[in-house]
Amino acid sequence: EDTETLTRLTTEKNSLQKKADTQEALNKILESIKQEKETKTSEEEQLTKQITETEQETGIKREQETEIRNKHNEANKKLTQLTTQQTNYQQALERRPQVTENITEVTNDINLLKAAQQQEEEQLTELEKQGVSLGDEPSLNEERDQNLKTSASLEKETQERNNDITESREIIEKTSELRDQYPDLAEESERETFRIEAMRRATILLDTTRESIMAGVKQNVEKNMMQFLPTLTDNRYNRAQIDEANYRIEVYDREAKTWRGKGVFSGATQDQFSLALRLAFAISTIPSSRGARPGFIFLDEPLSGFDAQRRTGFIQLLREDLSKHFDQIIVISHIEALAEEFPQNLTLDSGRIVQQ
């Protein structure tokens, strides 16, 4: 408790000391203000004394100062006006020779105008003697304007006629050239007409032949595909057709009881359909005449994506179906297990035979 009391008393002491210092500073400021006030009062008394002495010396009081200043300003204004008038008069005197010269020029112009007027009056008198009066002027002006318009129209028409003549001459020259070239042009036209007709008939013949060939090939491809599909798909699919509009493969799905496009089946099944299509197309398009049929076929990686069961179906297809059409079947594959299915095997490395 003594410590708290000591702390509180110390704080109060410091606070009182600050207040005492502040009061002392205020007293000093107040004393300074008093001294300044006394100085100002003394200066004011001196000024009042000087003003009183000045009024006594001049006989003019302060109340008359405003009136005197106003009169002074009015006198200055009058002096300025008089100075301006003096300057204007001085400038007028300086311009007097020029004005005199201008008056002379104007007088000469008036005399010239009078002479011209006299001459025009004489001309009018002469015209009146010839039967032309001033009342005819509007009609004469109108007639003049009409003549000008007619002249302009005639000039334009003349220019157009000249252009027509020039164009006609050019046409005549071109016609003469074409008349000379007519026999050659007629002969060339006949040749072109014959050529176009020949091309038209050839196009019809080619279209007819192509349609006939495509129809025959399409029928054979579908027949051969239906021959190969059961073997490749383990009898799951046996009917196929080719859409005539876009030549896409469609296979009959017995489970769904509908024709379905190739794209809805699994990847491996699509590979089987594609292989059947390639083989069917190859057999359908080879020449059938004696001595023209090739004796071999190349199959490059035909078993990509095939499992063991599908590979078995493929080997069966080679032995039972393809062997009827080709004497020699060459299969290229990375599957080493296929080597057992073929009587002859070649192993290649970078395109070179390394084992037979």
DSSP character string of 130-190: TT--GGGHHHHHHHHHHHHHHHHHHHHHHHHHHHHHHHHHHHHHHHHHHHHHHHHHHHHHH
* Res 57: pLDDT: 72
* Res 234: pLDDT: 82
pLDDT tens digit string along 36-77?
888 888 887 887 787 777 767 766 565 666 666 677 677 678
Has residue 17 got a pLDDT over 70?
yes
83 pLDDT band, cuts 50/70/90, is confident
Query: Pick the residue with more confidence: 217 or 131?
Result: 217
Residues contacting 296, CB < 8 A, separation 6+: 326, 327, 328, 329, 330
Of the candidates 260, 214, 219, 217, the one whose C-alpha atom is nearest the C-alpha of residue 236 is 260
238 with 230: CB under 8 angstroms?
yes
Which value, to the nearest 10 degrees, does the dihedral of the CA atoms of residues 41, 47, 51, 54 take? 140
Strand (E) or helix (H) holding 70? helix 65-129
Residue 140 main-chain phi, psi, to 5 deg = -65, -40
pLDDT tens digit string along 18-38?
887 788 888 888 888 888 888
The rounded distance, in Å, linking the Cα atoms of 272 and 244 is 21
Residues 271-295, mean pLDDT to the nearest whole number: 76
pLDDT tens digit string along 182-234?
777 778 888 888 888 888 888 888 878 777 766 777 888 888 888 888 888 88
Q: Which of 4-13, 177-186, 236-245 has the largest mean confidence?
A: 236-245
339 with 348: CB under 8 angstroms?
no
Percent of the chain with pLDDT over 70: 81
The helix-helix angle for 267-285 and 308-320 (nearest 10°) equals: 10
105 pLDDT band, cuts 50/70/90, is confident
345 with 339: CB under 8 angstroms?
yes
Has residue 8 got a pLDDT over 80?
no
The rounded distance, in Å, linking the Cα atoms of 354 and 335 is 17
Residues contacting 321, CB < 8 A, separation 6+: 227, 228, 231
What's the DSSP call for residue 304? T
Has residue 135 got a pLDDT over 60?
no
Q: Which of 63-67, 172-176, 271-275 has the largest mean confidence?
A: 271-275
Has residue 89 got a pLDDT over 80?
no
Of the candidates 341, 227, 242, 224, the one whose C-alpha atom is nearest the C-alpha of residue 284 is 224
Q: Is the dihedral of CA 92, 93, 95, 97 positive or negative?
A: positive
What residue ranges define each of the domains in the chain, with the CATH number in brackets? Answer: 286-356 (3.40.50.300)
The rounded distance, in Å, linking the Cα atoms of 250 and 248 is 7
* Res 300: pLDDT: 87
224 with 284: CB under 8 angstroms?
yes
Average pLDDT, the chain: 78
State which amino acid sits at residue 298: F
| Opening angle at CA 351, ends 348 and 356, nearest 5 | 30
User: What Cα–Cα distance (Å) separates residue 25 from each residue in 10, 18, 248, 287?
Assistant: 23, 11, 113, 132
232 with 272: CB under 8 angstroms?
yes
127 pLDDT band, cuts 50/70/90, is low
Residue 293 main-chain phi, psi, to 5 deg = -70, 130
Has residue 145 got a pLDDT over 70?
yes
Residues contacting 32, CB < 8 A, separation 6+: none
Percent of the chain with pLDDT over 90: 1
Q: Which of 89-93, 100-104, 149-153 has the largest mean confidence?
A: 149-153
Residues 131-157, mean pLDDT to the nearest whole number: 70
Query: Could you write out the DSSP letters of every residue in 3-52?
Result: HHHHHHHHHHHHHHHHHHHHHHHHHHHHHHHHHHHHHHHHHHHHHHHHHH
pLDDT tens digit string along 285-334?
776 654 556 678 888 888 877 778 888 888 888 888 888 888 888 888 88
